[in-house]
Structure 1
Amino acid sequence: MAGVEQRGNHEGLVKGLHWALVGRMVIEMAHEIRNPLTVIKGYLQLQEKKSACCMGESLGIIFQELHQIEVLVTSIISLANNNAVNKKPENLNQIIEGIYPAVQRVAVKRGIMTELRLADNLPMLDLNAEEIEQMVLNLAQNGIEAMQASGTLCIGTVRKSSKVILYVRDEGHGIPPEQRTEIFAPFFSTKASNAGLGLAISLIIAERHQGKIEVASTVGVGSVFKVLFPIGKQ
């Protein structure tokens, strides 16, 4: 029995060291991405001053996309370091409305329609707006990648009892039962073009807001991801 216990402790230590190494690699990679982004953004700001009359709209889109990359990189670094998150009373619907045009741009490129169904009179929640934006983008991107052209992605909110629920519903291929315990694991992905971090980061963001994520899925029909925020307990 002692040998089994020692072997178990050794395996746990190896696994812990492995994830510590992965965490350091993720942080270093995120820093390497953020540094050139800062330089690119600086040159674009200079160009904007020179040619605002003819490139204003295009530069605006570029800046918004750069901002989303910066938010993602900052979130990865913050989550990997387990830094405390700054939260303040926010209107969840307003956060979603602000990021919705970015979701629409991604969806339209794949021929996918989008719907926004926001409940009236939601209570204010203690949130970090940038992290919630990133979570909505991640969940929306996950749904979009699961669908073929002509499908519909729906983002909505609802209040139910003592919780506010953010949901993202897709009409994709669904998640097989054997994969539902793995989809939130870092680097797990069924798509060659996906790094497998979106759902993992979304889960951590939800937990940092004292929330949780529930998934309902039917193969061949689609999936619904629900983020449950407790009211007044954040």
Structure 2
Amino acid sequence: MAGVDQRGNHAGLVKRLHWDLVGRMAIGMAHEIRNPLTVIKGYLQLQEKRSTCCMGESLDIIFQELHQIEVLVTSIISLANNNAIKRKPEDLNQIIEGIYPAVRRVAVKRGIMTELRLADNLPMMDLNAEEIEQMVLNLAQNGIEAMQASGSLRIGTVCKAGRIILYVQDEGRGISPEQREEIFDPFYSTKASNAGLGLAISLSIAERHQGEIEVASTVGVGSVFKVLFPIGKQ
């Protein structure tokens, strides 16, 4: 049995080293891509100031495509860089209130209504505010993309049973049981325009805060994503 345990421990160590190497390679490649992108954007911005009306329209399209590449590269770095993060006491409600206007702007463009329901007097939590903002944006974007115009998106917090719960609820098409097993896998997406990293990154952020994500969904009715944080153990 001892030999089996040693082989199992060795296999686990090899696997961890493998994924550490993959993570470092992904971060290195992403940085190598992002550096020339920054230079290209700089020259394009200079050209934009000199451009004619027609050229300006073409530049807008180029900037949009560059932005999509930047978002993908940043997402890969965030997913691969699964190290310890710097946290400090934060008010979760304040973080959500700060990012909510950005969520609302995206929703309005799609004809979707938004609602904010924040619990009173939440205890302070040890959080990395930037990562929590990114997680809220990812979950909100996921809900917005699942809905048609006139749908409603709700973001809220609850303190219940020794946990602080952040939830994002949509009135979208819902998620089938089969899809629910795959939605947190990197690069899994049912939408051609989506890289499929938002939910994978959100789960990674939740886990770095000792939290977890639960999903409840009904096909044709909508979904709710709940991020559960243990109070005092972040």
Confirm whether residue 189 of structure 1 aligns to residue 172 of structure 2.
no
Question: Partner amino acid for 1:123?
Answer: P
Q: Which residue of 2 aligns with 1:123?
A: 123
Instruction: Name the CA distance, whole Å, in 1 between partners of 2:75 and 2:94.
Output: 20
Gap runs ≥5 in structure 1: 1-11, 47-65
**What TM-score does the superposition give when structure 1 sets the normalisation length?**
0.75
Note the alpha carbon deviations across 1:63-121, whole angstroms, 9 max, x for none: xxx99x98985564254132210010000011111111111111111111111111110
RMSD value, Cα? 3.4
Instruction: Name the CA distance, whole Å, in 2 between partners of 1:72 and 1:156.
Output: 27
Confirm whether residue 171 of structure 1 aligns to residue 171 of structure 2.
yes
Shift of 1:17: 9.8
3-state SS of the aligned residue for 1:215? strand
Query: Identical aligned pairs, as a percentage?
Result: 88
* 1:109-148 aligned within 5 A: 109-148=109-148
Q: 1:158/1:204 Cα in 2 relative to 1: closer, same or farther (>3 Å)?
A: same
Note the alpha carbon deviations across 1:129-161, whole angstroms, 9 max, x for none: 011011001000100010001101111001002
Instruction: Name the CA distance, whole Å, in 1 between partners of 2:223 and 2:130.
Output: 25
Q: Which residue of 2 aligns with 1:60?
A: none
Q: Which residue of 1 aligns with 2:154?
A: 154
Gap runs ≥5 in structure 2: 1-11, 47-65
C-alpha contact 2:142 2:198 (8 A) present in aligned 1: yes
3-state SS of the aligned residue for 1:101? helix
C-alpha contact 1:71 1:130 (8 A) present in aligned 2: no
C-alpha contact 2:186 2:197 (8 A) present in aligned 1: yes
Q: 1:17/1:163 Cα in 2 relative to 1: closer, same or farther (>3 Å)?
A: closer
Question: Partner amino acid for 1:192?
Answer: A
Shift of 1:178: 1.0
